[in-house]
A and B are shown apart, each in its own frame.
Chain A
Amino acid sequence: MAEVQLRAVRKSFGAVEVIKGVDLRVPSGDFCVFVGPSGCGKSTLLRMIAGLEEVTDGQVLIGGRDVTDAEPSRRGIAMVFQNYALYPHMTVAQNIGFGLSLAKRPKAEIEDRVRHAADILQLSHLLDRKPKALSGGQRQRVAIGRAIVRDPKVFLFDEPLSNLDASLRAEMRLELAELHGRLDATMIYVTHDQVEAMTMADRIVVLNGGRIEQTGAPMDLYRHPATPFVAGFLGSPRMNLYEGEAARAMGARVYGIRPEHVLLSPERGRWHGRVRHVERLGADAIIHLDVPQLGDLVARAAGETTLAPGSEVWASPQDGTEHRFPA
């Protein structure tokens, strides 16, 4: 358990500045998720916290201690990589215990701690296997076990679930959340999947182009996005965003309304349009409308909706759910 703090952190690769001054405080015990589009610098930021990437400028503090120049192994962190990075020539037990054996801990203690970590992750029956003989989900568990056994103050995850299939990902999401509750450690988690961000985070950090766009609790960001970028990034289907003439008519430089906040009615409303396409998801349906005043408008309706392509419909925003972004 430790607080992680970044102070005016910058990173350049040669002449290219990738992280352009990041200030961030992750409170002790938080589950903090970095999201952002590909190439925005999430991994780079995480690797700087881990000490795998040198900090060009600024400071990294873990538990109040300045670790900007400390070795990765001296920072009290553990990291789980996207491709698992298990040592292929070692068994599961050796993989998990590698750090301890490097630290020359007594054999009995290593065995104990490996067994304990394996119990938490239900890996006990696999301890003698090589990584080659494991499924993707099991490999990811071993990688997490390798992190747990080090008893770190801070866990770092770089897109740990992106190589898993959808159902396994949902399962692991839950497991990680439970693990967080159980270990009570600070966790920093990188993903570009906004579902993972929304479901797991205590706090989301939205990154864009090497800068922090906004920080906050998931529902805060959902309700009050500070910029059109954040508004468009969180939420699925994404928010309807309009610029130019349509937005100016609504009194903003950028105007936004989420699909779930668009009310449809056969008789009256603010905008009149025609249904172009209906995507039925079961519980609800995504309606794509052509609205002359706005352009495209996406609305979420009940799954049993009778709307069909070609029908005329009125749409209006729910009270208090509109987003107006000033210039």
Chain B
Amino acid sequence: MTVLSRSVATAPPARPRRRARWRPALTGGLALLAALVVFVIPFLFIALQAVKTRREASRLDFAWPTEWQAWENLVEVVQERDYMLLLAYLNSTIITVGSVTLLVIFASMVGYVLQRRRSRVNGVVMGAVLAGLMIPPAVVPTIWVLQALGLFKTIHGMILIEVAYNLSFSVLLYRAFIATIPRELDEAAIIDGAKPLQVFFKVVLPLLWPVTVTNIVVQSIGIFNDFTNPLYYLPGRENVTVQLTLFNFQSQFSSQMNLLFMNVLLVTIPPLVVFVFFNRQIVAGMTAGAVKG
């Protein structure tokens, strides 16, 4: 009786259930395929051209290289124009480290005050933060200001530009995260006798680690890979940054695709490594915030 009724009950939905089982596999497969086309194939293409000879690379196809030139290309790219790539690495690193450090310090403090303090000024500041996110920067007036301040064509001027352009995003990240930290924690510290700066540095800041990692990684990659801003605000041979070294191999009359792509590869790898390494923590900082006492 029970066997009969069970088989009767399960027989009809058998077909829909089978479809339900292969459907996720299909959609997942399609998504993977799309990701392959969008992300992996271009990367393989770059890697492939980077190891070819100049002549083979200029054809820009997927043909397997007949002659492997990876090491020669690498050496040539690095030595190009009196080791310009190494200088570029140095400059980019200084800019990235400097601006990310300032971003973390300022954004966490601004985010904290914005989230915690009840004040009329907050609305204005919040408006400014959102404006910084939405209004595109005007290049020429910015250059005027930089020139007036004597910061144009200087590394520290560039650092300040990167801080200004990216501060809004970081502030919003911090503010959202701080909202998940119970206010009572601050109050307990105040009762324990902490001064405002102590409340921030001893109690709140240590809890911001996940979102700080997110900020460091996201902003480092963005600033390290920045192409346009150094192009506008940091002209000059001695000021070159990594993305701008790509110009070395592309001119009107000749182009060395193998070297160009080797350069692309060298410039892309550090951020990629950082991203792969910190991937889990980035997501954690974006989503989590459960710091229940």
Contact = CB atoms under 8 A, between A and B. Distances in A.
A84 interface: yes
Interface stretch (B133-141, B144-152, B170-178, B185-193): B185-193
Given A81-B184, A146-B188, A89 B194 contact: no
B188 A102 contact: no
A84 B184 CA distance: 8
B187 A85 contact: yes
A79 interface: yes
Contacts of B187: 50, 52, 72, 79, 81, 85
Interface string B177-205: 00000101101111111100010001100
A146 B207 CA distance: 20
Say what secondary structure dominates the interface of chain B.
helix
Given A73-B193, A102-B198, A139-B293, A85 B185 contact: yes
Contacts of B207: 88-89
B20 to A, nearest CB: 40
Contact of A146 (B192, B194, B291): B192
A123 to B, nearest CB: 16
A131 B293 contact: yes
B192 A73 contact: yes
Interface in A264-288: none
A146 B189 CA distance: 11
B193 A88 contact: no
B194 A102 contact: yes
Pick from A79, A85, A102 the residue with the most CB of B within 10 Å: A85
A87 B185 CA distance: 7
A107 to B, nearest CB: 17
B199 to A, nearest CB: 10
Contacts, number: 64
A27 interface: no
A72 B198 contact: no
A72 B292 contact: no
A150 interface: yes
Interface residues of A, number: 25
Nearest to B203: A87
A84 B198 contact: no
B189 A98 contact: yes
Nearest to B187: A52
Contacts of A83: 182, 184, 292-293
A163 B182 CA distance: 15
B24 interface: no
Contact of A86 (B194, B202, B206, B293): B293
Contact of B193 (A52, A82, A87, A102): A102
Contacts of A137: none
Given A81-B184, A83-B182, A50 B293 contact: no
A176 to B, nearest CB: 18
18 contacts: A72-B187, A72-B191, A73-B192, A73-B193, A77-B191, A79-B187, A81-B188, A85-B182, A85-B187, A87-B188, A87-B189, A88-B292, A99-B191, A99-B192, A102-B194, A103-B193, A131-B293, A146-B192
Interface of A: 50, 52, 71-73, 77-79, 81-89, 98-99, 102-103, 131, 139, 146, 150
In the A-B complex, list the 10 residue pairs whose CB atoms are closest, starting with the nearest: A99-B192, A73-B193, A85-B184, A85-B188, A86-B293, A89-B206, A81-B184, A84-B293, A72-B191, A102-B193
Interface of B: 182, 184-185, 187-194, 198, 202-203, 206-207, 291-293
